[in-house]
Copies of this chain bind each other. A is one copy, B any other.
Amino acid sequence: MKAINIGLIGLGTVGTGVVRLLTAEKELLARRLGTHLVLKKAADLDPARLAAAALAPDQVTSRAEDILDDPEIDIVVELIGGCGAAKDYVLSAIDRGKHVVTANKALLAHHGNDLLAAAAAKGVEIAFEASVCGGIPIILALRQGLAANRIQELFGILNGTANYILTQMTQSGASYGQALAEAQAHGYAEADPTLDVEGIDTAHKLAILMSLSYGARLDLDSIAVEGISRLDPLDLQFAGEFGYCMKLLAITRDDGHRVEARVHPTLVPRDHMLANVSGAMNAVYLTGNAVGPILLYGQGAGMMPTASAVVSDLMDLARNLICAVPGRVPALGWESALNTHRLIKPINDLVTNYYLRFSALDRPGVLSQVSGILGKHNISIAAVIQKGREAAGTVPIVMITHEAREADARAAMAEIDRLPIVSPPTVFYRIEDPHLHAAQI
């Protein structure tokens, strides 16, 4: 059987891992596939990386074109990241009739619809298991394993950096700045952590998971995004007193008509499976109408976990090449996903439980005024903690609400923040708590 020739663009961390797997596990992969995956050429602009790759001289090049123009290369692996050259290379590979494997979630979230349409027109495939949750086979699960299900809701801890910082803040009481510095010292956070801590990377991944779940076009712009960089350890402590922990969650939920699409710090009950996802680990917790709740958990990033996903994609594309059935499964798992739109529920229409923390002067009647305004806006209170006076002269009043509409919560907070006895801004977080929900029904 003909060997499958692979060209790899980008010899960074993940690229190096892919070279290692293709080299060290060559025979194992052939035992599975029945033929060899051959790394014909790897490209990188950095000579030091090329030298470090332990490949033969004719296997390395500084020019991506040497891969794109090689008619013997069947599959191009794009691992340079970003939406610049990566996009050009992917389009160029498609144009030359090559299949593509990528780990590039930003590229897919921003340009996935165009790239997938171009690939479909050309009869080639784009595989992207490595773009979400590293080696966890979540794309495979949504695209094939759970194909009999309507995905009713999905919660994801999709960014290891943010989860590491939140875990540190929760376990040690560290400030955001301290936890970030520690994450950077351990190599879990980059010098500029914006993409990770502001929820942007998580939103890229949520856009991909939503397309797979609903069989619809990628729609990054409609995802409401808040990060973790303004978190106060005080709120993690109060959350703990109510039995919650804080996670940066990607959330989508289908009410049959519209779908929620949001990324923000979220309180989850400490006995929820997601509460035990600590440090740099990732997880997706979803509910399918037939299968019920499912959790997939593992390392969401790193050299070898991500390389594991890239190589599983290579195996899948190789099998399609061997059988001459490109596009056996549609890229997003649905025949017409790129022609399907889902209506997004604006964040103001969201109905959920809220955690509210007011800073109020410790005067008689404060609780009555605050709760009066909440009541006027149809928000009822499920639990309250009010503690004694602090040095600063204000006391925190912390509340968990019953289910309320986001627009009402925001209007109520704006009104409360205008009270002379309240020191704005009021802090609020959303809660995902099945128990709380059930208690109201």
Tell me the bound Cα distance from A328 to B33 in angstroms: 10
Q: What 1/0 flags go to A293-309 for Cβ under 8 Å of B?
A: 11111110010110111
Q: For A334, list chain B residues within 8 Å (CB).
A: 31-32
- Asked whether A319 and B329 contact (CB < 8 A) given A29-B148, A273-B297, A295-B297, the answer is yes
Partner among B17, B140, B290 whose Cβ is within 8 Å of the Cβ of A140: B140
Q: A129 at the A/B interface (Cβ < 8 Å)?
A: yes
Q: For A53, list chain B residues within 8 Å (CB).
A: none
- Whether B293 lies near A296 (C-beta < 8 A) is no
- Asked whether A290 and B304 contact (CB < 8 A) given A137-B140, A276-B276, the answer is yes
Q: A323 at the A/B interface (Cβ < 8 Å)?
A: yes
Partner among B147, B271, B289, B336 whose Cβ is within 8 Å of the Cβ of A312: B147
Q: Which residues from 297 to 338 on chain A have a C-beta closer than 8 Å to any C-beta of chain B?
A: 297-299, 302, 304-305, 307-309, 311-312, 315-316, 319-320, 323, 325, 328-330, 333-336
- Whether A335 lies near B33 (C-beta < 8 A) is yes
Q: For A316, list chain B residues within 8 Å (CB).
A: 144
Q: A62 at the A/B interface (Cβ < 8 Å)?
A: no
When C-beta atoms are compared, the residue in chain B nearest to A134 turns out to be B291
Q: For A434, list chain B residues within 8 Å (CB).
A: none
Q: For A295, list chain B residues within 8 Å (CB).
A: 283, 295-298
Q: For A311, list chain B residues within 8 Å (CB).
A: 147-148, 290
Q: A225 at the A/B interface (Cβ < 8 Å)?
A: no
Q: For A145, list chain B residues within 8 Å (CB).
A: 129, 137, 140-141, 312
Partner among B129, B289, B293, B325 whose Cβ is within 8 Å of the Cβ of A298: B293
- Whether B323 lies near A135 (C-beta < 8 A) is no
Q: A178 at the A/B interface (Cβ < 8 Å)?
A: no
Q: A288 at the A/B interface (Cβ < 8 Å)?
A: yes
When C-beta atoms are compared, the residue in chain B nearest to A136 turns out to be B294
Q: A34 at the A/B interface (Cβ < 8 Å)?
A: yes
Shortest beta-carbon distance from A359 to chain B in Å: 35
Q: A28 at the A/B interface (Cβ < 8 Å)?
A: yes
Tell me the bound Cα distance from A144 to B329 in angstroms: 14
Shortest beta-carbon distance from A403 to chain B in Å: 26
Q: A25 at the A/B interface (Cβ < 8 Å)?
A: yes
Q: What 1/0 flags go to A330-356 for Cβ under 8 Å of B?
A: 100111100000000000000000000
Partner among B21, B28, B288, B305 whose Cβ is within 8 Å of the Cβ of A308: B288
- Whether B294 lies near A148 (C-beta < 8 A) is no
Q: For A288, list chain B residues within 8 Å (CB).
A: 135, 308
Shortest beta-carbon distance from A339 to chain B in Å: 11
Q: For A305, list chain B residues within 8 Å (CB).
A: 290-292
- Whether B307 lies near A148 (C-beta < 8 A) is yes
Tell me the bound Cα distance from A118 to B325 in angstroms: 25
Shortest beta-carbon distance from A179 to chain B in Å: 21
Q: What 1/0 flags go to A398-429 for Cβ under 8 Å of B?
A: 00000000000000000000000000000000
Q: For A319, list chain B residues within 8 Å (CB).
A: 328-329
Shortest beta-carbon distance from A304 to chain B in Å: 4
Q: A386 at the A/B interface (Cβ < 8 Å)?
A: no
Partner among B25, B28, B276 whose Cβ is within 8 Å of the Cβ of A273: B276
Q: A10 at the A/B interface (Cβ < 8 Å)?
A: no
Q: A146 at the A/B interface (Cβ < 8 Å)?
A: yes
Q: A150 at the A/B interface (Cβ < 8 Å)?
A: yes
- Whether A323 lies near B333 (C-beta < 8 A) is no
Q: Which 10 A-B pairs have the closest CB atoms?
A: A137-B145, A135-B291, A148-B311, A295-B297, A290-B308, A323-B325, A291-B308, A294-B298, A290-B304, A140-B145
What 12 additional pairs, Cβ within 8 angstroms, besides A148-B308, A323-B323? A25-B290, A28-B150, A31-B336, A140-B140, A140-B145, A141-B145, A148-B311, A149-B308, A292-B298, A292-B305, A294-B296, A294-B298
